[in-house]
Amino acid sequence: MTRYEQLAQQLREQIRTGIWQEGDKLPSLRETVRRSGLSLMTVLSAYQLLESQGWIRSRPQSGYFVAPAREATRYLSPPQPLLPAETVDINAFIFSLLQAGNDPDCVALGSAFPDASLFPQHQLSRSLIKVARQMPSQGAGVTLPPGCADLRRSIAQRYAARGMEISPDEIVITSGALEALNLGLQALTRPGDWVVVESPAFYGALQAIERFQLKAVAVATDPQQGMDLDALAQALRQYPIKACWLMSHCQNPLGGTMPAAGKQRLLALLAEHGVGLVEDDVYGELYAGLEPPLPVKAWDKEGRVLHCGSFSKTLATGFRIGWVAAGQQVDAIQRLQLMSTLSTSAPMQLALADYLSSHRYDKHLHTLRRTLEQRKHIFHRAIQRAFPDVVRVYYAEGSYFLWLELPAYCCATRLYWRALEEGITIAPGRMFAADEQYRHCFRLNASLPWDPRSETAIRRLAELVGELIAAGPPA
Ligand SMILES: Cc1ncc(COP(=O)(O)O)c(C=O)c1O
């Protein structure tokens, strides 16, 4: 971490812990230079970083002040707190969008994956070659659920490092987190059951609900605080909910992370109504700050939470390796996996187990988090400069997504098709809900290197957005 990032980090922690509260004037640049021994440029960069992230505001001639906590996150048009849907019909739409945008020459601002060049390709290849040579003897025993014992032990050790006691026997290796999430939902429900999802939600949750013929209650989710827990309590009272699927960290598409107190209340609410939680934590390792936040699973004493993780976003996209720490459902998950995909690819499991045994993963994650934060910061500033003022940009810490909100009359799906003609993809809001609530929003991937290609794409996208806004509401 550079010095200015360290200083920004310190100030952020001070604001979080209430040392500096909304409206407080921060020490002047000169005062901070004197106290910290850092250069004026370093201190100025730290303050500018915090300003671009919405933590502080500068007032001409007066200095820097702590910004109102929720102002930056308030929607121009707030989502409905609760939205029930007896049927979810989204697969065809998502399929057409993903197919159309699957061109390697596109600037993939709509992609859900981070820039793959940030992954340790060389080391992973070495592990793959090594295990391929040993495969005939080692392959056996990995081709049935729950998967490779060494890999499950490594994952259990990573939980233990966070103070969570998860036995390797509770962990099932899956084909990416997507299989873990789908098996989790299947284990907790029967066709026709009601499920709580976020609004907006990762489209994989909506696709699973459609596939398993479930009914969904979408609960409004805040870009900073996560799911609206009062609305969740209401949903639990009103509907016979069987499962809840949500992201407690770096929510996709909004980016936000639920505070620890929220996670505990969430678990208490679910326990009160006997509801299981499918916790989608694929971006959990891409947290901001010094310490990883604990997942809801950390407070789960009853095995109610199915905590789903993945290496797809942090290490090896194409390996398709994820897992679920399945609590009470560990046997059910294995039976379901046996009936569907049987198991995850043995060479990929063994290669990841080999890579993890080299103890390089944490160092890689550290560099990855830092690079992603820097890139997101650059994208954010560029978007603020290039896009019309009426466009609201939500910057949440961690991960690599930015969520943009256009005036309500604009259709981001139209923007998608228009941008695609120019070789740029975005992820339109319609992908993240069973209804039209977010048709004026879209998600951008800010993990790409800031080079002339990205710069041109952002500038062109800003022009297209400008044209869409200028066209006004449909007659
Ligand atoms: C929120 C979320 N959950 C789960 C997944 C699936 O993860 P995996 O690639 O490990 O299957 C994705 C992939 O985009 C995602 O964005």
**CB of 322 shorter than 6 A to ligand 1:** yes
**CB of 427 shorter than 6 A to ligand 1:** no
Q: What is the number of helices (H) and of strands (E) in the chain? A: 15, 17
Instruction: Tell me the per-residue pLDDT of 205-217, one tens digit each, with 9 for 90 and over.
Output: 999 999 999 999 9
Domain boundary residue among 335, 361, 387?
Answer: 361
**236 and 350 part of one domain:** yes
Q: Is residue 318 part of a domain?
A: yes
pLDDT exceeds 60 at position 74: no
Separation of CA 177 and ligand 1 centre (Å)? 6
Q: Say if CB 448 and CB 107 are below 8 A apart.
A: yes
pLDDT exceeds 60 at position 85: yes
**13 and 146 part of one domain:** no
Cis amide bond preceding 78, omega within 30 = no
Q: Is residue 267 part of a domain?
A: yes
Separation of CA 180 and ligand 1 centre (Å)? 10
Q: Say if CB 90 and CB 434 are below 8 A apart.
A: yes
**185 and 109 part of one domain:** no
**203 and 329 part of one domain:** yes
Q: Is residue 7 part of a domain?
A: yes
**95 and 34 part of one domain:** no
**CB of 312 shorter than 6 A to ligand 1:** yes
> Cβ contacts of residue 37 below 8 Å, gap of 6+?
none
Q: Is residue 16 part of a domain?
A: yes
What's residue 51's pLDDT? 83
Q: Is residue 74 part of a domain?
A: no
Quick one: pLDDT band at residue 53, thresholds 50, 70, 90?
A: confident
Domain boundary residue among 361, 377, 399?
Answer: 361
- Average pLDDT taken over every residue of the chain: 91
Quote the pTM value: 0.87
**352 and 415 part of one domain:** no
**314 and 391 part of one domain:** no
Separation of CA 178 and ligand 1 centre (Å)? 6
**236 and 384 part of one domain:** no
Q: Which residue has the higher pLDDT, 205 or 94?
A: 205
For residue 102, give its domain range. Answer: 89-117+369-471
CA proximity to 430, closest of 406, 410, 412: 412
Q: What does the pLDDT average to over 302-311? A: 98
**42 and 104 part of one domain:** no
Domain boundary residue among 361, 381, 416?
Answer: 361
Q: What does the pLDDT average to over 106-116? A: 93
How large a percentage of the chain has pLDDT more than 70?
Answer: 96
Q: What is the CATH number of the domain that holds 113?
A: 3.90.1150.10
Closest C-alpha to ligand 1, atom 14: 112
**Total domains present in the chain:** 3
To test the ligand 1 pocket, which listed residue (172, 197, 202, 341) has its Cβ within 8 A of the most ligand atoms?
202
pLDDT exceeds 60 at position 234: yes
How large a percentage of the chain has pLDDT more than 90?
Answer: 74
Q: Is residue 75 part of a domain?
A: no
Compute the 3-state secondary structure of the chain and give helix, strand, coil in percent, each to the nearest 5.
50, 15, 35
Q: What is the CATH number of the domain that holds 229?
A: 3.40.640.10
Q: Is residue 78 part of a domain?
A: no
**CB of 282 shorter than 6 A to ligand 1:** yes
Find the helix or strand (DSSP H, E) in which 360 lies.
none
What's residue 94's pLDDT? 83
Backbone angles phi, psi at 453, to 5 degrees: -65, -50
**96 and 131 part of one domain:** no
Query: Residue 217 forms beta bridges with which residues?
Result: 84, 196
Q: Is residue 83 part of a domain?
A: no
**64 and 96 part of one domain:** no
Q: What is the CATH number of the domain that holds 56?
A: 1.10.10.10
